[in-house]
Structure 1
Amino acid sequence: MNTQLHGKIALVTGSNAGIGRAIAMLLAANGAKVGVSYLNNKEQGEETVNLIRQAGGQAELFQADVTAAAQIEGLVSGVESAFGGTIDILVNNAGHLVQRISNAEMTEELYDKILNVNLKSTVFMCKRVLPGMKAKGTGRIVNMSSIAAYNGGGPGASIYAASKAAVASYSKGLAKEVAGDGITVNIVSPGFIGQTAFHSTFTSEDARKSTVNGIPLKREGTPEDVAGAVLYLVSDLASYLTGETLEINGGMFMR
């Protein structure tokens, strides 16, 4: 068994930059044909696709709001049409803290936005690709949780943390539901991952330094650290693993 994915069609949501880009690039480097999706920044998406192609891989770019079922349908259909087959590997990387806000200030609109981008997108992306996977009798799904799902997150992130806990719980239930169809569903739970827009937007430099000092491995994670875990989960090496969570946090949280 190995990590080669030749002949496999993969879709990585939110893969125009950061963790998603690293995942898309690593899957392509191991032979997968990769659908790169983005919401707003087309230039970043084009850069991701170009980097993959320059390295000898196959990738196509797609725009979609994965909180909308109609756009999910268009995204998946577009990937299937571009690569001539149904999706073998789905990585639900798209997600967002959206805004740090106390529960006292939380609005219904913001609550819905946070749950939709993290949980709803995951649920309906999975729903859309499952028929094709079931027809093949095989498939790999990786959903993105967070260390926040276990520690409640930083200030003003409780609803985000709850949405990521819901992703993990949903993934375990789905893993049981589709195991008989040859489909595995696993979870990746990143800790403090640098080189991403998330921490550039929501984490001060002082908070970053304080957090890194508390990590046993004494460094922040990289997008490539997360990508390596995803590659393992979608490869033959993890064929007997489902409903499990890989914690990518340098020892910051141990179970």
Structure 2
Amino acid sequence: MREETVYHYTTLETLFHIINQSTVNSLTLRATHVDFLNDFTEHTIAVGLLKKELISYDNTLSNDSKNFSKTLNDKRMSFFRNEEIDELYPHIISFSECGDSLPMWNTYADKSKGIALGFDKSLLAELNEDYRLEKCEYDSSRYEEYLKQNIQKLHESTEVDSYSIGFTQDFDSSILQDHFKYLPILKDKGYAYEKECRLIIPNKISELSSLKFQVTDSIYKPYKEIEFPFECLTEIILGPCLSLEKMKTSLNLILNQKGKKLSLNKKNGKILLKQSEIPYRNV
């Protein structure tokens, strides 16, 4: 796998939909609301660690103690997820630095009968000045170091009453920049094998009307449609259970309708088509 490429695992049906809805110059991917991703701890790990450190620091105090061990519950701590409105529940498009991973094939690509789309990382990073392309972190040590360095200021400025949580008027909100940076990228170590990169799209109040919804698993799943220049797509890797010989003809015909061409060897202007190198049969 090339370091300048990141991969989006998906199904053949989704790939057909992406290409069918594309134009000669652009294609569209769905960005999922952060609260509707597979890991149910999404967007909460950093807040949980912040709560733990605030309570721990408060317990070392006597005269200045704010009784956080009793007043800082999870409902109040959700304030630290949406204190800044442009960071309110961002939408995510997930990519992996690994384009041929059996766990990824089986989890996200129709049990190895799907594909991995390779995207040029540098073009993704330049897509929109409001978007961030960030590697996920599965080790919380750097975030915890940030907390240790700032916990006194955070504690002094945090106020909790019977109903809500807030900050003192003199609070320097720039202290929270690192908190908001880690909020959507800090993941449980059990997902480290994914080697995930995320395109993070802020969910601005002014853009709420552009949200769309998919009915799945008895819920309404909110998402945004994000447009990419077609040139961002540089590779298509076939899952272990697909046939290169059968797929190359049909994919060529589908992409030709959009003026694009495949190549089994990397050539300028063409999309590289490859087969997974993992020996696997879904039986």
**TM-score of the aligned structures, taking structure 2 as reference length:** 0.21
Which structure has more relative contact order (CA 8 Å, sep 6+)? It is 2
Rg bigger for which structure? 2
Instruction: State the TM-score, normalizing by the size of structure 1.
Output: 0.22
